[in-house]
Amino acid sequence: MSDMLLSCCILVLLLTDSGFTAPTAIPEEESSPSPETEPDLKLATVSASLLQLLKEMQMFFGLNSTGVLDSETLQVMQSPRCGVPDVEEYSHIQGTRWNKNVLTYRIGRYTRDLRSSIVDSLIESAFSVWARASGLTFVRTHSHNADIMVDSVII
């Protein structure tokens, strides 16, 4: 379970520039949540822009481009990527480049599904993976002026 959460955290960190919202989830057999199914949801859905990026990633890897974070997509996300060419232009996703190498992040609201210590650990691990790959340093802060805001919200 923690590997899946870590993968989700990494995906969000890779595809957003100012934090993320931890969305509600969709079971693999459903493509869109409804009020009747929300309590039983298991996998993460994402905001509209992240949903589009997920579809693009699925298409890039030859998966069904559903925008659903299903087990097949997670398997691809967890597989080694050495030598696999990436999508050309991520600059439109990331906006402008950071003008510094040390970035701060703040964890705001927590999910009710996990203890805050587990969320803290998973997010710290995700930032650690990203730091090794990017050469950036991520430092947690409690300041409201953090470079990256991480919140869990129900959409």
Give the tens place of pLDDT for each residue, 85-96: 655 554 445 556
Residue 90 lies in a domain: no
Asked whether residue 60 carries a pLDDT value surpassing 90, the answer given is no
Residue 103 lies in a domain: yes
Residue 91 lies in a domain: no
140, containing H or E segment = strand 137-140
The 3-state DSSP class for residue 41 equals: coil
pLDDT mean across residues, the chain: 71
For residues 33-38, give the mean pLDDT: 47
Helix axes 71-78, 2-15, angle to 10 degrees: 80
Which residue in this structure is represented by tokens 């439109």? 92
Q: Confidence class of residue 136 from pLDDT cuts 50, 70 and 90?
A: very high
Q: Is 113 annotated as a binding residue?
A: yes
Which residue in this structure is represented by tokens 């559903």? 66
For residues 34-61, give the mean pLDDT: 61
Which residue in this structure is represented by tokens 């998966």? 63
Q: Is 147 annotated as a binding residue?
A: yes
Q: Is 70 annotated as a binding residue?
A: no
Q: What is the spatial distance between Cα 42 and Cα 40, in angstroms, rounded to a whole number? A: 6
Residue 139 lies in a domain: yes
Q: What is the spatial distance between Cα 37 and Cα 96, in angstroms, rounded to a whole number? A: 38
Q: Please give the structure tokens belonging to residue 90.
A: 């991520």
Number of domains in the chain: 1
Q: pLDDT of 3-21, one tens digit each?
A: 555 555 565 555 554 443 4
Position with higher pLDDT, 144 vs 46: 144
The whole-model pTM stands at 0.42
Residue 11 lies in a domain: yes
CA 150 → CA 2, 68, 140, distances in Å? 18, 21, 11
Residue ranges making up the domain that contains 11? 2-80+98-152
Radius of gyration, CA atoms only, the chain: 15
Asked whether residue 54 carries a pLDDT value surpassing 50, the answer given is yes
